[in-house]
Amino acid sequence: MVDPKRVLSYEDMLKVIHQPEKVIIDVRSPEEVKSTGKIPSSINIPLHHVQDALITMSEEEFKKQFQRPKPSSSDELIFYCQSGRRSSEALDKALKLGYTK
């Protein structure tokens, strides 16, 4: 179960989608994103690639693939998916990797 303090409401998301310092990560598959669209300013990192993207990928690789700087462990990450299950898993992985926000 995700700590309710770590869950954003729809209204909260409307406020952050245009804040470039927030890193909004869509953890759905590329096919899902293609068929339904995505939140503006979000990047697509499927759940099974989250750990590699955050830890293994170099700064240069990350920027080349996602057109934004690689987040540091103190940057605010916001994960989303269709139902919340995958985003909860992504949050758990990020917390275990040392991301705090």
Best CA proximity match to 97, nearest among 58, 43, 69, 55: 55
81 is catalytic: yes
* Helical residues (DSSP H) of 20-101, grouped into ranges: 30-36, 50-51, 59-66, 85-96
Catalytic residue among 24, 27, 78, 81: 81
Q: Give, as one character, the DSSP assignment of residue 84.
A: S
The Cβ-side half-sphere exposure at 80, using a 13 Å CA radius, reads: 20
3-class state of residue 53 by DSSP = helix
Return the active site residues: 81
